[in-house]
Amino acid sequence: MKTLKVNIVTPDGPVVDTNAELVSAKAQSGELGIMAGHVPMVAPLQIGAVRLVKSGNQSEVVAISGGFLEVRPDQVTILAQAAEKAENIDISRAKEAQTRAQRLLESKQDNVDFKRAELALRRAVNRINVHDGNL
């Protein structure tokens, strides 16, 4: 099966530089599945997991915190605000972030930015799910 070049880049630098047969990502408009020869496009991404299916049915999962996906017939580039491979996720840090965000959302204080706390919770839950393989 044909492969395409996949790059996932954050402001801190590259996270993934590999070849894959299939790239699956969650765009604002819904789930995308991209294979070699896909029509060129650009799409905004949601907080979610990007699955890279490589030859031999091996897969790699990366947690991303939104960004943009650019597709060319032989390449996919993801520009993400933050991205972590499943094996690099610090699960205790992710669970602490989840607890902290939940506390903020449950508090009745007027000075709490609920939208920001909600996004922090979604990012933490995404990282936990990617780490644990609950996709």
Claim to verify: residue 60 and residue 98 sit in the same structural domain: no
pLDDT given at position 114? 82
Answer whether 70's CB lies under 8 Å from 44's CB.
no
Claim to verify: residue 68 and residue 43 sit in the same structural domain: yes
pLDDT given at position 35? 94
116: domain CATH number is 1.20.5.440
Tell me the two tokens of residue 88.
């690099």
| pLDDT over threshold 80, residue 80 | yes
Region 82-93 average pLDDT: 94
* Spacing of C-alpha 58 from chain mean position: 18
Pairing of strands 13-20, 59-72: unpaired
Length of the chain: 135
CA dist., res. 135 & res. 133, Å (int): 6
- The pTM is what? 0.87
pLDDT given at position 89? 93
Q: Which domain holds residue 116?
A: 90-132
Choose among 72, 89, 80: nearest CA to 36: 72
Claim to verify: residue 56 and residue 110 sit in the same structural domain: no
* Number of domains, the chain: 2
Tell me the pLDDT tens digit for each residue of 48-78. Answer: 999 999 988 889 999 999 999 999 989 999 9
Q: Residue type at 65?
A: S
Claim to verify: residue 8 and residue 57 sit in the same structural domain: yes
